[in-house]
Structures are given as C-alpha cells and as structure tokens.
Structure 1
Amino acid sequence: MEKNNDISRRDFLKGSAMFSGSLLLSGLFPAGASEVISKTAEMNDADDLLKGVCDIHLHAEPDSRARSVNEWQFSYDAQRSGYRSVMFKSNDFSCHDRAYLIRQGLSDMEVFGSICMNRVHGERVNAFAAEKAVATSGGLCRCIWMPTLDASYHYRCEGRKEQGIPVLDDAGRVLPEVIRVMEICADANIIFATGHCSPEESIVLTRKAQEVGVKRVVITHANSHFWTMTPDQIRLCIDLGAYIEYCYLPCLWGEGTKMAQYKRQSIEEFIAFVRISPERSFISTDLGQAVMPHPVEGMRDCIIKLLRSGIPQREIDLLIRKNPAFLIGLN
C-alpha cells in the first residue's frame, strides 16, 4: 500500500489537473474554473498555497449520501498536498472513530472527526451519544454539531410537515439536553457548533454556551443558503465569544452545476463576509459532494481567489490555518 500511494509532487499536480479537467468537462466546476485548473497545472509552487491548511468541515465516504472521495483517500491527498489537518463531518454517522483508524496508516497527518446531533441518534439532541463520542479512543472527536439536516429550522425552511429536532423550547430557552452537550464540550474543550439552526437560534445558543463556559463556539456556515447571517448578527456572535465559519461551497454551486437548486454566492459577497473579522473567523470548504469538485481543488481555488481579492497573507493564514487549528486543539 505504501508503494502504491507514494506519488511524487509532480504526479499529484498532474493528477489534480487531470481530475479537475474531467470535472470541468462534466459540468461540475462552475464557469471560469478552467482558469483555476490551468493555474494548478502551471504553478511550480502550487503546494505552497496549501501548506499548513486546516479544513475542518468536509464530507467523505463512508456516508449515507454520495461523496466524491473516501476519508482515507482524502486524508492521503490532503497530506500530500501539504495540509496540516482535516476534520470530517457526517450528517448521520460519527467519524471520529474512523479518524482513529486512519491515523494508524497516516501517523504524521492530523485527522479528526465529529458528530452531528441528528435523527440517527434519536428524536431529540442526544447528550449520551455526545458523551460517548468524546470518550472514544484517541480523543479525536473535536466537534459536536447541533442538528443539521434534521434541525427544526431546516425542516421548516424546506416546508416539511414532520417535526425536526429542536434546540430551544417554546419560550425560546435552550433545552436541558442541549445545555448538557455544551457542558460536555466545555469539559473536553472542543467545538460546540450551531449546525443548521436559524441565525436567531444560533445567537441564543452562543449566549448560553458562553455562560456554560464553552471556549470554542462555532457559528456554522454563516454565509450559506438559509443560514446566512447579517453582519450585525455576526458581530454580535463574535462579541459573545463565537468563531464564525464561512464555507466556500456556495461559491461553487448554482447555475451550470449539478447543484443548480442553490443560488451561487459571488466572490465579492464571499470576500465581504471574510473581511468582517478575520481574527474570529475561518474558512472551510464544506465540500465532498459527489457532484462537486474534490475538496483539495476547492480549497486551492478559494485561496487563489482570496489572494486576487487583496486579502493580506496574514489574514489568509488566520482564516485557513491558525484559527481552525486552534479550534480543533492543535495550538
């Protein structure tokens, strides 16, 4: 296995360009992606763009949805590309236990997992599942997400009749089981993430998490779809101690892609979010969907766009290296 996987830097860049080219031909990359692909193939220092990257929100197989790559292969790809760490997210399954196994074969790669409080764990937020995730061998569960695809707010936005998993009671107070998960995150000093809760719910959760003593609160994809926050809401969450996640995925989906049901976010809009407070923000790809680019290619595209938009290198380092590394406990 070591011999088969031991590709050279040149081979990786060549493979990345070929892979990206196939994505373009199949319509997976949005318009204008050819410029990024040629950039990937031509730049002698392409790997330097990715050195030290920490992508802490991405999806891979095994999963209950189709993904573009499996966790082992992506971890290897990330390692060869110069990444420092990755953290996997599955909406239905824990992946911190698989991170433990991946590390046995990639001992010098920082691979972490997380767990989402979705229906697979019960009709309510399951604090027992969170407790056991944190206690799993290796201590590699570095984030507990509130409900995502099964969140009450997500269901309402999709017009579904069934009841999603709540985080607040009818009076707008944080539910006891959610507070217990906050306590678990505080004790383990790991991320408490707001998942697919509404912007208003996320503010309430952030305020309570601060009271409980959580040091690593993350507002999940604050620039994405119907979870998008206003700048004032973002600043309030930062004042309450949260870190803000901006996902690059919305800049890649939309018209002309296989995720055309979503409105694409312009680079200008994305950059406007990023500029609000780089000191308390980070960028993740949220990639891994079978019809989207490989997450490595997505991250490279994002970094190139940041540079071309005039974002200083110091702020880029905060957004894709230092802040996510802190959040998963590497610093």
Structure 2
Amino acid sequence: MSTNNLEGIVELHVHSAPDIRERAYSDLELSDAARSVGAKAVVIKSHHGTTMNRAFLVNEYNRKVYNEKKFTMYGGIVLNYAVGGLNPVAVETALKLGAKIVWLPTIHADNQLEKLGKSGGIVCVKNNEPVEKLKEILALVKKYDVTLATGHLSADDIFVVARHAKNMGINKIVINHPEFWVVGLSTQQQAALVREYDVYLERCYAQPMGGGKYKSNLEDNYNLVNELGPDNIIINTDGGQVENPHWEVAFQQSIDYLADKGISPEDIYKMTRTNPAKALGIN
C-alpha cells in the first residue's frame, strides 16, 4: 500500500452537522479531524442553506483556542428551496458574509426531481440559455470572484451554464461529481467540458445508489485520471455520510488507490492541493 499523507490537502465538499440528515461529524469535529491530518482547507456544504456563517465561527474558535491559522474552514450557499431557489438577494448576502462557493440547485434541481419521478424542481436553463435569475446570480459570482459549482444539474444544462459562465469571464467553475447518476456526464462529455471551458471535474470517493448504499468511485476516478490527466481534476470526497468512512479516511483511501495504480506523487499533489486551491481562489 502506497503511503500519502494528507498534509496541505484542500477539500471542497464535506457535509457536516447541523443538518437535517445525520452526519458523521459536527462542524467542530470535522475541523478537529482536518487539523489532525494537516489539511489546509475544507469547505462545508449543506443542501439546506448557507455554511459560510458556520465556517466563520469554527475559524474564530480555532483562532482563540489554538492561536494558529494553518487550517481554514470555508462555506458557501446552495440554491435549493431553503434559500428561495435562484435567489440573487440570498446569494449576494452570502457573498458579503464570506461565501466562497455558489452551488447551483442540488436536491431541488429539476433534473434530480424528474429522475426521481417528481415535479416542481428548480429550472436553471430554458431554450438553451440560463434563466434570467441565474444570469443575475452568475453576474454576482463574477463580481465577487468566487467559485461556481454546478450541483445536480443535467448534463445538457451543465454545458449551457459552463458556456455562459465562461463567456462572462468566470474561470473558477467546478463540475460537481460528474459521475453521479443524477448528473450522468459520460467520460466523453467530461473531456469536452474540460476542452471547451477549462472547468474542474470534481471526482468523489463514493456516490449514493439509494437505500443507504454507496458505490465506490475509486476505479472510475483512476480511469478518468489515466485518460484525461490531472490538470483539470480535483479529488474530493463528498463525505460526511454515516454510511461511508469518515471524510479523512475516505480521502486517504482515494489517494492511496491512485498511488497504487501508478499515478505519480506530483499528479496526486496537483489534484488534491494545487487544483482545488485554484478552484477555490486561495493561495
């Protein structure tokens, strides 16, 4: 087994408590875990609102208790119904409060609800163009120079949003877990997004298959890295579920698997430190 420590990693996608769903760690417990492995930064995500306010409190606690700044927690806003969906006021408020990522709809995206046989989801694209509220939000993403993440949009909608965002001059675009069955981007489509719009592909540890079961993505992640190279790939976990290993264990397993398959330390460093730091806009 190859050994790769987690010193300096940047993780853009962990779910922690408080949450409607049971999570493996609270925000403070997640911070302790991240600090224990030497992580540089972790972004906490909630399908039900904002997390930059929670991250602020964790950072204040760490500053007062540990008096050091080696680790930073960040947050953002997810544009589901809990914040009014495509709500520019909520977005700008979050950005003024320090949000670093604007996630497009996830559990309330029209794509996800339709694939679950439901209706009433949030529509981001009509007639091959972002809807007007989304255009307003993209303008805010550009104004505040933060990261745009595509959430659970469909493959077709992701291409539309990526094209429009890139044409606006938004350069920090992350395609969330493109292999997730709800998103359903093929390897060819992922390669096309990289080629045409220079996006980052977020490849995660595991994806939900329903009924509390998770499918390992380790082999799929390796195959994509082997095919596309490391320059536009981010290795993250989408961790926090009680059904999966703890976030830091999942991260370790992910990079150990890649190393065992022959991916170089330099490429692993790029996908776990350099690329996510650039995508987040941190040094």
TM-score of the pair, normalised by structure 2:
0.92
Higher strand proportion, which one? 2
Counterpart position of 2:183: 227
Residues 128-277 of structure 1: pairs in structure 2 closer than 5 A: 128-136=89-97, 139=98, 141-160=99-118, 162-169=119-126, 171-238=127-194, 239-250=196-207, 259-260=212-213, 264-265=215-216, 267-275=218-226, 276-277=228-229
CA contact (8 A) 1:246 1:273 kept: no
- Deviation at 1:228? 2.8
CA contact (8 A) 1:148 1:154 kept: yes
Counterpart position of 1:125: 86
CA contact (8 A) 1:54 1:85 kept: yes
CA contact (8 A) 1:76 1:106 kept: no
- Deviation at 1:227? 1.4
Q: Partners of 2:217 and 2:53 in 1: how far apart? A: 37
Q: Which runs of 5+ in 2 are unaligned?
A: 64-68
Fraction of identical pairs, as percent? 26
> Aligned pair 1:303/2:259, yes or no?
no
Question: Deviation string for 1:287-307 (max 9, x for gaps)?
Answer: 101222110111111111111
Change (3 A) 1:273 1:119: same
One-letter amino acid of the counterpart of residue 232, structure 2: R
- How many residue pairs match? The answer is 275
Q: Partners of 2:144 and 2:217 in 1: how far apart? A: 38
CA contact (8 A) 2:204 2:217 kept: no
One-letter amino acid of the counterpart of residue 176, structure 1: E
Change (3 A) 1:265 1:291: closer
- Deviation at 1:210? 0.7
Q: Partners of 1:73 and 1:269 in 2: how far apart? A: 30
Q: Partners of 2:229 and 2:157 in 1: how far apart? A: 21
One-letter amino acid of the counterpart of residue 259, structure 1: G
CA contact (8 A) 1:91 1:118 kept: yes
Counterpart position of 1:89: 45
Question: Deviation string for 1:222-249 (max 9, x for gaps)?
Answer: 1222313122211221121311111112
CA contact (8 A) 1:63 1:93 kept: no
Question: Deviation string for 1:169-198 (max 9, x for gaps)?
Answer: 2x2221111111111111111111110001
Residues 306-321 of structure 1: pairs in structure 2 closer than 5 A: 306-321=258-273
Counterpart position of 1:322: 274
TM-score of the pair, normalised by structure 1:
0.79
Q: Partners of 1:104 and 1:173 in 2: how far apart? A: 41
Change (3 A) 1:254 1:155: closer
> Aligned pair 1:63/2:19, yes or no?
yes
- Deviation at 1:93? 2.0
Change (3 A) 1:232 1:89: same
Which 4+ stretches in 1 moved above 3 angstroms? none
CA contact (8 A) 2:7 2:37 kept: yes
Q: Partners of 1:324 and 1:266 in 2: how far apart? A: 19
Q: SS of 2:8's equivalent?
A: coil
Question: Deviation string for 1:40-71 (max 9, x for gaps)?
Answer: xxx9xx6x611111111010001111101101
Counterpart position of 2:66: none
Counterpart position of 2:230: 278
- Deviation at 1:266? 5.4
RMSD: 1.8
Among 28, 34, 41, which residue is 1:72 paired with?
Answer: 28
Q: Which runs of 5+ in 1 are unaligned?
A: 1-38
One-letter amino acid of the counterpart of residue 247, structure 1: C
Q: Partners of 2:133 and 2:225 in 1: how far apart? A: 33
CA contact (8 A) 1:191 1:217 kept: yes
Q: SS of 2:166's equivalent?
A: helix
Question: Deviation string for 1:79-138 (max 9, x for gaps)?
Answer: 11111110011000211011111111223121100110001122x4111111000001xx
Change (3 A) 1:72 1:182: same
